[in-house]
Amino acid sequence: MKPSMSRRRFLQVGAAAGGGLLISFNLTGCKRSDERAEPPSEQAVGTAATKESKRAPGLAQNAFIKIGRDGIVTLIVHKAEMGQGVFTSMPMLLAEELEVDLAKVKLEHAPANNSLYSDPLLGGQVTGGSTSVRGAWKPLREAGATARAVLVQAAAQTWQVDAATCSAKNGAVVHAASGRSLHYGELVDAAAKLDPPAVIRLKKPEEFTLIGTPLKRLDSVAKINGTAQFGIDAKLPGMLVATVAASPVPGGKLKGTNDQAAMAVKGVRQVLKLDNAVAVVGDHMWAAKQGLAALAPTWDDGPNANVTIDAIRTTMNEAAKKAGATGENKGDAVKALAMQEGGRKIEAVYEVPFLAHATMEPMNCTVDLRADGCDLYVGTQVPTFAQGAAAKLTGLPPEKVRVHNFYIGGGFGRRLEVDNVVQAVSFAKLMKAPVKFIWTREEDIQHDMYRPYYIDHLSARLGKDGRPAAWFHKVTGSSIMARFAPDAVKDGVDPDAVEGARDLQYTIGDMRVEYVRHEPSLATAFWRGVGPTHNVFVVESFMDELALAAGQDPVAYRRALLDKSPRMLGVLNLVAEKSGWTSKLKPVAGRRVGRGVSAQFAFGTYMAQVAEVSVGADGDIKVHRVVCALDCGQVVNPDTVVAQIEGGVVFGLGAALWSEITLEKGRVVQSNFGDYRVMRMNEAPHVEVHIVASHDDPGGIGEPGTAAIAPAVANAVAAATGKRIRKLPLAASAGVLKA
């Protein structure tokens, strides 16, 4: 395998950094096959980051690994760590080929620099789309293998022996015949003078000693003992703390404040005002919070003062009557569905609500703005977006804006947005001291950028065998891409809105997918699982409806449609086996029980889930067991895969059962976990994860669990009660489900 960069650029002497071997590595040129190509929606996120940074994307030249004279390996990680485990998986990839103890690898967050730290699959410096391992899988291993090769060559020259008689092991090069060895730190200066080999050899899967093994997270200890630093932990000399209130109605303006009352609160230093928001600055958060309460801002609600969730639904339903832009067209589904003969026609309308992200770490951003530059201390999934936004607001060149990235206490797509950075920097321009801005839970939930509300119209005509001979799916909802990355919207189709709808693994005759764009007053954004979180619910629920209409078992029905997708069929068969699909469910006293299935291909991973539920006489739903089977290609750390699927399932269950954002008088009704309900520990089901052994290129695992769970539960509820719920959250239909 040839290195994917010029040989002279690969190795550099790091005298200025105190000596050692600096290794540039290139994450470009790792394009996947058509099967694993990233959806346009994911690519567009990186493209937007590139445009914002005004720098061409890349990960080469100065993005390097350093091996010091002490043998410590430092890896600059171009991804944000937000609980998905990249601060363990990335060094595992490197250490596997470098033959170094994982404990000898130290990590640093990459600074904001789109030309050096772009994700090769996304095309920008972005963490999202479950792409981290997929993008780094080959290049990081190549970097480790190349470094190992030159270190072996340096040792061979030192001993004047054939390099083929030497081997690398545990951070050292060994010459078995003579019993000699040199650790890497003793070889780095000599290695830095060598050219890398023209051809490098990567390990075969059967040679892996780290990859594929369950390892404890490297950042666990720091997170347990409190030394891990999240954005909210940032501390600067002379720093003050502020909290914010924005207009409760989108488009509203600040009307009045009681500055005197706010300033009378002990510890309050200043009141800051923008057209649509206020902030109170204090010595600490309590002073700022108390000062904001005393400030008692009043608002001019503006043009959206009377918007309600019912009004939004009404206008969306009107919009859905229009012909949509073509997202997928195969054959003539419209004609086939209009036929009066030729099999039974099934129609359904599905709805999913606005959803907040509700990240565990409150939104925050610390700004140190000076005449000569600006420093941002924040946990962000898009550091170059944050940098670009601050540069625009301050008039500083981007290189004068430094982004210090931190551990993130939950991203879920919320921190793909920089509205918090924009607001913080806007306020900071009115200050002469560094300020940490913290948004309360209430402020965040009521001013989030929400997962869109969608209304989906589906229809299918079944052939004589009961299988769908024609399929039509119209998606109506807002366009995240039109705001975030408008170049991605082609011919009126938002690729994110139809992801999971137009790329089905099932064999279907005529098929048409349309998209109707309709913008509500609320800002919408990516949410964990992005487009598939709504489309998989819709498609897999409707697939169950078709199975019922055909009088066939839901698993058997899907099997018959997966003749061209052996990997999807494999996980479906595995989940059926492990869940005991054909066995009778144990009764639950006073409750109806049911089992439901779903299947999906998203983020490069094939997954099937079975949920076991019970429904009380009052319509209360309990999820007792979830069985997941997935084929995500080569697994780097099985523990991480299991943890991410378990977390994704629990995250998705909260949304499937309870979570929704509604509006009255232009205002978001929900404000905290009391009325924006998420799953609690005592409500969590037993989750089983079964991984298909594979050496294919890795797929993503951060989001598939979230996208697949809602339809499995909805199908289980239908099996238990005989009643089909087509609108989320399911608990809102408790009245319908009463025995």
Residue 556 resides in a domain: yes
Q: What is the pLDDT of residues 99-119, one digit of tens each?
A: 999 999 999 999 998 888 888
- Residue 285 pLDDT > 80: yes
Distance of CA 564 to the CA centre of its chain: 28
Q: Which residue has the higher pLDDT, 121 or 433?
A: 433
Is residue 61 domain-shared with residue 207, that is, in the same domain? yes
CATH number at residue 34: 3.30.365.10
Residue 359 resides in a domain: no
Is residue 636 domain-shared with residue 709, that is, in the same domain? yes
Is residue 170 domain-shared with residue 273, that is, in the same domain? no
The whole-number pLDDT of residue 12 equals: 42
Is residue 568 domain-shared with residue 661, that is, in the same domain? yes
Residue 363 resides in a domain: no
CATH number at residue 258: 3.90.1170.50
Of the listed ranges 47-51, 88-92, 254-258, 338-342, the least confidently predicted one is 47-51
d(CA 500, CA 506): 12
Q: Measuring CA to CA, which residue among 108, 408, 77 is closest to residue 231? A: 408
- Residue 261 pLDDT > 60: yes
686 φ/ψ angles, rounded to the nearest 5 degrees: -75, 125
17 φ/ψ angles, rounded to the nearest 5 degrees: -95, 10
Beta carbons of 30 and 144 less than 8 angstroms apart: no
The whole-number pLDDT of residue 118 equals: 87
From residue 333, give the alpha-carbon distance in Å to each of 223, 323, 462, 483, 562: 54, 14, 12, 31, 20
From residue 688, give the alpha-carbon distance in Å to each of 7, 215, 470, 737: 47, 19, 35, 27
Per the structure, the count of domains in the chain is 3
Is residue 123 domain-shared with residue 240, that is, in the same domain? no
Domain span at 50: 7-224
Residue 364 resides in a domain: no
The whole-number pLDDT of residue 456 equals: 98
Q: Which residue has the higher pLDDT, 14 or 713?
A: 713
Q: What is the pLDDT of residues 517-537, one digit of tens each?
A: 999 999 999 999 999 999 999
The whole-number pLDDT of residue 184 equals: 97
Is residue 274 domain-shared with residue 421, that is, in the same domain? yes
Is residue 573 domain-shared with residue 683, that is, in the same domain? yes
Is residue 434 domain-shared with residue 455, that is, in the same domain? no
* Token digits of residue 423: 């607001």
Q: Looking at residues 708-723, what average pLDDT do you find?
A: 98
From residue 90, give the alpha-carbon distance in Å to each of 81, 217, 453, 709: 11, 11, 36, 28
The whole-number pLDDT of residue 21 equals: 82
The whole-number pLDDT of residue 54 equals: 63
Is residue 94 domain-shared with residue 47, that is, in the same domain? yes
* Token digits of residue 15: 């005298």
Residue 2 resides in a domain: no
Which residues lie closer than 8 Å to 612 by C-beta, 6 or more apart? 579, 585, 593, 594, 595, 623, 624, 625, 626, 685, 716
Q: Which residue has the higher pLDDT, 39 or 511?
A: 511
Beta carbons of 687 and 706 less than 8 angstroms apart: no
Beta carbons of 291 and 483 less than 8 angstroms apart: no
| 30 pLDDT tier (thresholds 50, 70, 90) | very low
The whole-number pLDDT of residue 31 equals: 43
The whole-number pLDDT of residue 46 equals: 67
Residue 365 resides in a domain: no
| 53 pLDDT tier (thresholds 50, 70, 90) | low
Residue 63 resides in a domain: yes
Residue with tokens 């001013």: 447
Final residue in a domain of this structure, among 164, 189, 224: 224
Is residue 542 domain-shared with residue 569, that is, in the same domain? yes
Final residue in a domain of this structure, among 438, 459, 477: 438
Is residue 606 domain-shared with residue 651, that is, in the same domain? yes
End-to-end alpha carbon distance in the chain: 65
Final residue in a domain of this structure, among 177, 194, 224: 224
Is residue 151 domain-shared with residue 263, that is, in the same domain? no
Average pLDDT, the chain: 93
| Strand blocks (E) in 134-225 | 166-169, 172-175, 180-183
The whole-number pLDDT of residue 41 equals: 62
- Residue 180 pLDDT > 50: yes
Q: What is the pLDDT of residues 331-371, one digit of tens each?
A: 999 999 998 777 899 999 999 999 999 999 999 999 999 99
